[in-house]
Structure 1
Amino acid sequence: MEALLAWVLVMIEEVGPDIRDTWHEYHQMEAGSHHSQARYTGTREERLREYLSYCHQQGIALPGHEGGDINHGHIKRLIGIPKGHRQEMTVPMLGLLADSGLPVEPLTGIGSITGQVHGRPWREHPITIGELPTLVRLLSAALFTAVCYLSGMRPGEVLNLRRGCRDTDEATGELLVHGFRGKGFDRVPDQPDVSEPLRPWVVVDVVHAAIGLLEELHDLPLLFPSSLTNAHDQRPATVNARTGRDMNDDIQDLISWINSIYRRADSGAPIPADPAGRINATLYRRTLARFIVRKPRGLVAAALQYGHIHTKVTLSYAGYADPSWLHDIAVEKLELIIDQVEQDSEHLAVGEHVSGPSADEYRVRVERTASFEGRVVTSAGSAERLLEQTDPAIYHGQGMTCVWRAATAACRKAKLALGLPDDDTPDESECRSSCANLAYTDRDIEHVQRRRERHQADAADPLVPKPRRDRAAAQAAQLSRIIDRHHGQDVPDVEKGTA
């Protein structure tokens, strides 16, 4: 999944613009509106004479097929013959081609290659007309992956995005994407605009870039129409989106194409086979949740990314809140806690020292939770109930560990004093070194020592302004007291501030 996303970014930044420009050039030639066709006027034979003369002057070879034959259809396209009048070449036209003496290119390329991969053009020759429709379809699959993977939207919600769905919040500058909900008891799938308002998702700039490239690729109302290259009688592209099954097939074709064109330095496939099996669009939401929730403050970040909890986005749509993303989060948080407790238990078993006011409580909770032998989880609800029973409420921060108890939490008291709502989790930005919930492991102290070294360097730097040197010296002294206490040295109590 990570390799796929990396190559999707390459498609957006380097490969996609070349495919888009070539697709536009092809359609202009099909319509007879390309600037290069303005020089050809008159009958078909007169246009052909002018074309052959131009090729002689510029040293241009005739377009051909792989077998070496001349591509008559593309020559008619180049000289501006309307699509409905491209009958077979006449005998005089065939004679002009035979007598021209011009060489024949083995491929019929169109457009130019400007994008680069690792400092080299992403391909050696221009895109051929025969492969252009396939590349357009694969580009659409790459752009779908970027939007779906990095927004947390459901596949169906992405497939039904409309042109002009990008927006920016004027107050905060956040990037938004407006679309329709994919679930809800009051939805009318055939007429979503009748039963519900548009709702926004908060996204990152790559999502906006992908949507912008899609809007430049075609002029249809849906970003992902049923087909960009072939007409559908039963599902016209003007009113129908691509199906989820077709998009999943497109994603597989994209992976196969990338692996067939490029190789890693170790000769391996750029996008290796996923251990979980076939990659499909429904995995994107779960994968995003897994990566985000395992980061510091990951639950909050996941909420923002999924666009369901951020107050600015959801206040106007409170009646339409969709909590289904929390099911994915519950499973991922349960896995995270199991991994974390196992690691903490292993460190305690080999003699890791723990200090601080909550050191004893830390050991008790780790030992109690580590003794849990597990239980079969068959649903998200089971994961949530198990999480409530087994969560030791231990949070590893930067250079400190919070053994959470709401009644003694200094961060919670500070927020209540300011009239802010309190949460049932610690807020590291409001952490106080005097808090009774703190504990310090040997791993925390290693981080504290690195911070102290940086502050000591700043305090001793003569080029640093004196107020900053004084502040760095005070911070280094505060960290030294934490380190000394951890190692059992007698340190006098002093007034402590923010950790």
Structure 2
Amino acid sequence: MTTALAYEDDPYVLPVPTPDTPVVLPRWISPGNTHPNSHFRDPVWSLAPLIDNPGATLITIHWKNCPAPLQGEMKRVVWSLINGERRPTYLRSKGLSARGRVSASTMLQKYCEWFRLANWLHQRGITHLADCTADVWRAYASERRDEGISRVHAEMVIGYFTDLWVYDQLSTCPAGISRPPWETEGIDDLLPAADGTDSAENSTEPLDPQVMGPLLVWALRFVDDFADDILAAWTEQRRLVDVAVNNTATSASRAALKEYLLPLVDTGAPLPAVHVKGRLYLARDYVAAHTGATHTQIERLVKLHGLQDLVVQRPAPCPLDVPIAGKIDGRPWREYIIFGEATTLMQHLGTAAAIVIVYLTGMRPQEAQALRSGCCPDPEPADDSTLGRHLIRSRHFKNVLDEDGNHASAGEVREVPWVAITPVVRAIRVLERMVPEGELLLSAAHHDVHRFGGRQFQGAIRRTSLNRRIEAFVAWVNREAETQGLPDQAVPEDPHGAIGMSRFRRTLAWHVARRPGGLIALAIQYGHMRTVLDTRTTSGYASRSRRGLHSVLDVETALAAAETAVRLRDRAAAGEKISGPAARRALTAAGHAPRFEGRLVPKTFARKATKFLARDGIVLYDNPDAFLICAFKHDNALCEPAPGATAPRQYACTPGCGNTVRTDTHARQLRRRAEEIDQLAARAPGPVAKRLRANADRLRETADTHDATAQSIEALT
């Protein structure tokens, strides 16, 4: 009686499920989730009721993968994993990142490891989880370690074994799984030796520029030049299919069919054909739409006259009655679009739009998959009749927690919207023409253009499918580039493997960060505002290691710094004079800087780049917004760089800084900018004009100071 009362009073303990108990209890299913729920007795369990992210893969548990003698006990533990919450007392011992409930994808990792353990136990004749003693735990953990997994992975796996014991304790009828010995003894002896290779780095490589260039060109071509033609062709193709399906067999339709096809047969002319899964067939829908015949009437004629063999011998294209407006290099990209080709082109159009959006916004794939029609409305005109920027408002998912601190599958609306440049807006508008109002822009149901009827897919196109579509798009582009006589616009093979959705975000960051203020731009667009607070030590985006954003950007930063040094060296050699307190130090740095002639650098260069940037006082950073070069020396900097920073806060450049360097080119730029400001002042109201003229005067004074103090390279060296 005492035990029963204890269970009743414990909010974390779950009742024993019955065969009719739902796999996911109603309290864990969000109101908008319509995925069907499974029952405890079912051989396959769906975790879809836990998944509200439209781009996530729906997860299922197949109990055939668990040995029959252990299925009953394992089912109860997995059901506790799905519906239970780990106790706060346990979570406090596991650190701040530990959660009471985990995502469905993490559940997948856990139960897969548990099934693996169950099969190992079954092979050794162990039929009850309670028989997994401390010695058995050690033996299996050691064997799992020796399978060649990394130290980080091994630590994660051992944590999953601990969770098997933890979730068993949440049942009123536990299997009696023993506490793993490493909970008291520590896990170090069960982990692979630390060899320095386990750095928890994000190994996703940016796309090679030679790949990204032509890929983006063709994606923009589809969105800007081909979209109207493709959408019109798709509409016409669907119209013809609808007509063909709804035809009624009459003597007139039979006569029209014979009148259309038999002269072609008798004269040896080509017959209308389409490719279906790599084979040629008579274009039945096309013929039906143009003659009024039914498929049955066409099939009889095909068999009677052996048309299938004739089609293979002499196929003819089936042009759609759609004008072609798109052009490549000033000439039409197609004479016509053929029946059947519109289907493939529609798929490539959706893929091209997705590439443009993901690459030019920096979105994660799951964020792009969550975009809906209407997410990027046209901005309202401002008071001065100018239009504001297009903003994309949608959901993000990474590290989003619910009010209890647990994973929130549905994510949340991003507090800071993405800024959409014109090509992105056009891509969104194309996708909005492909799906109904309010629907996901990458809706699987509407982008599966090869399907006519049949299964209705839910959510967005899955990432794996998008990756396959990108590869298919590249293959089409390369064939088209050859056909169009544009071999230089083909997309080469990337040296780091397949082009995937996740690689676009890192590629964009690579190029943005080298601009002045680029870190701020990334922080805002990528949703990592904390990077603004500390440009080096607390930035967290897409790091190759735990040091943060600049770990992945050091190569580009180093190349930019080297280019700045080379430009300074070239200007000085051409006779330009140099001023500023750091002029002599900058010339010394420029004399030793390497020159990069557009060569690609491997990822192994990253460490060298980091060392290059760590040379305090002799790394040069161009700052065109301040019309100067910063020979960054940490102790001299007035921009208040963070402790240990190896780069200036270029957006906080302060006059009078001891790291300043200017050339005659900078002085000319200062005067040109002053003239531009004077022109603005001439059209501005009095108080504003006064401030503008004062700013222009300061720029001229800075240029005059340079002229008065600048020295030649001979005088400084």
- TM bracket (short chain): 0.5 to 0.7
Which residue number corresponds to residue 258 of structure 1? 477
Which residue number corresponds to residue 151 of structure 2? none
Give yes or no for the alignment of 1:248 onto 2:454: no
Measure, in 1, the Cα distance between the counterparts of 2:500 and 2:665.
42
Which residue number corresponds to residue 335 of structure 1? 555
Which residue number corresponds to residue 9 of structure 1? 220
Which residue number corresponds to residue 521 of structure 2? 301
Give yes or no for the alignment of 1:166 onto 2:382: no
Give yes or no for the alignment of 1:277 onto 2:523: no
Cα drift, residue 411 of structure 1 = 7.6
Which residue number corresponds to residue 155 of structure 1? 365
Give yes or no for the alignment of 1:401 onto 2:629: yes
Question: Could you tell me which amino acid in structure 2 is paired with residue 397 of structure 1?
Answer: N
Measure, in 2, the Cα distance between the counterparts of 1:213 and 1:149.
16
Cα drift, residue 403 of structure 1 = 4.1
Cα drift, residue 46 of structure 1 = 2.8
Which residue number corresponds to residue 433 of structure 2? 216
- Cα pair 2:565 2:589 within 8 Å, conserved: no
Question: Could you tell me which amino acid in structure 1 is paired with residue 223 of structure 2?
Answer: I
Which residue number corresponds to residue 650 of structure 2? 426
Which residue number corresponds to residue 401 of structure 2? 186
Aligned partner of 2:664 among 430, 433, 445:
445
Measure, in 1, the Cα distance between the counterparts of 2:292 and 2:393.
41
Which residue number corresponds to residue 17 of structure 2? none
Which residue number corresponds to residue 497 of structure 1? none
Question: Could you tell me which amino acid in structure 1 is paired with residue 285 of structure 2?
Answer: G
SS at match of 1:202: strand
Aligned partner of 1:46 among 237, 241, 252:
252
SS at match of 1:7: helix
- Cα pair 2:237 2:320 within 8 Å, conserved: yes
Measure, in 2, the Cα distance between the counterparts of 1:424 and 1:361.
16
- Cα pair 2:240 2:289 within 8 Å, conserved: yes
What are the Cα deviations for residues 382-439 of structure 1, in whole angstroms up to 9, with x where unaligned? Answer: 9999799556575322342134579977788xxxxxxxxxx971337x764x554422
Distance 1:198 1:427, change over 3 A: closer
Distance 1:135 1:91, change over 3 A: closer
For 1:84-483, list aligned pairs within 5 A.
Answer: 86-89=295-298, 106-112=316-322, 113-129=324-340, 131-167=341-377, 173-184=388-399, 186=401, 192-193=409-410, 196-197=412-413, 200-219=417-436, 221-226=439-444, 227-231=447-451, 236-237=456-457, 239-263=458-482, 267-309=487-529, 323-325=540-542, 329-340=549-560, 342=562, 355-359=579-583, 362=586, 394-398=620-624, 399-403=627-631, 425-427=649-651, 432=655, 435-440=657-662, 444-449=663-668, 479=703, 481-483=705-707
- Cα pair 2:393 2:413 within 8 Å, conserved: no
Distance 1:483 1:70, change over 3 A: same
Distance 1:308 1:337, change over 3 A: closer
- Cα pair 1:202 1:304 within 8 Å, conserved: no
Measure, in 2, the Cα distance between the counterparts of 1:90 and 1:435.
85
SS at match of 1:216: helix
Question: Could you tell me which amino acid in structure 2 is paired with residue 176 of structure 1?
Answer: L
Measure, in 2, the Cα distance between the counterparts of 1:117 and 1:345.
40
SS at match of 1:166: coil
Identity of aligned residues (%): 23
- Cα pair 1:403 1:439 within 8 Å, conserved: yes
Which residue number corresponds to residue 32 of structure 1? 243
Which residue number corresponds to residue 50 of structure 2? none
What are the Cα deviations for residues 178-215 of structure 1, in whole angstroms up to 9, with x where unaligned? Answer: 3332422637999844x634553222222221122112
Q: Which moved more, 1:353-362 or 1:287-296?
A: 353-362
What are the Cα deviations for residues 436-487 of structure 1, in whole angstroms up to 9, with x where unaligned? Answer: 44223xxx3345357669989x99xxxxxxx999x99997786355145222
- Cα pair 1:289 1:329 within 8 Å, conserved: no
Cα drift, residue 146 of structure 1 = 0.7
Which residue number corresponds to residue 144 of structure 2? none
Measure, in 2, the Cα distance between the counterparts of 1:455 and 1:202.
30
Which residue number corresponds to residue 464 of structure 1? none
Which of the pair has more CA radius of gyration? 2
Distance 1:45 1:233, change over 3 A: closer
For 1:62-77, list aligned pairs within 5 A.
Answer: 64-65=272-273, 71-77=283-289
Structure 1 segments unaligned to the other structure (5+ residues)? 56-60, 99-103, 315-320, 371-375, 413-422, 460-466, 490-499
What are the Cα deviations for residues 111-136 of structure 1, in whole angstroms up to 9, with x where unaligned? Answer: 4222111111111232332x222222
SS at match of 1:331: helix
Measure, in 2, the Cα distance between the counterparts of 1:300 and 1:111.
50
Which residue number corresponds to residue 418 of structure 1? none
Distance 1:217 1:384, change over 3 A: same
TM-score by length of 1: 0.67
Cα drift, residue 147 of structure 1 = 1.0
Measure, in 2, the Cα distance between the counterparts of 1:426 and 1:21.
49
What are the Cα deviations for residues 284-311 of structure 1, in whole angstroms up to 9, with x where unaligned? Answer: 0111001111223221222333244399
Distance 1:447 1:356, change over 3 A: closer
Distance 1:391 1:474, change over 3 A: closer
Question: Could you tell me which amino acid in structure 2 is paired with residue 11 of structure 1?
Answer: F
- Cα pair 2:569 2:590 within 8 Å, conserved: no
- Cα pair 2:379 2:388 within 8 Å, conserved: yes
SS at match of 2:316: coil
Measure, in 2, the Cα distance between the counterparts of 1:122 and 1:279.
26
- Cα pair 2:357 2:428 within 8 Å, conserved: yes
- Cα pair 2:240 2:285 within 8 Å, conserved: no
Which residue number corresponds to residue 710 of structure 2? 486
Q: Which moved more, 1:63-72 or 1:263-272?
A: 63-72
Distance 1:342 1:107, change over 3 A: closer
- Cα pair 1:160 1:222 within 8 Å, conserved: yes
- Cα pair 1:159 1:242 within 8 Å, conserved: yes
Measure, in 1, the Cα distance between the counterparts of 2:526 and 2:582.
35
Cα drift, residue 242 of structure 1 = 1.8
Q: Which moved more, 1:154-163 or 1:398-407?
A: 398-407
Measure, in 2, the Cα distance between the counterparts of 1:230 and 1:189.
39
SS at match of 1:336: helix
Cα drift, residue 173 of structure 1 = 2.6
Cα drift, residue 258 of structure 1 = 1.3
Question: Could you tell me which amino acid in structure 2 is paired with residue 46 of structure 1?
Answer: A
Distance 1:472 1:54, change over 3 A: farther
Cα drift, residue 271 of structure 1 = 2.1
Cα drift, residue 11 of structure 1 = 0.5
SS at match of 1:210: helix
Q: Which moved more, 1:162-171 or 1:446-455?
A: 446-455
Which residue number corresponds to residue 419 of structure 1? none
Cα drift, residue 79 of structure 1 = 5.0
Measure, in 2, the Cα distance between the counterparts of 1:44 and 1:322.
73
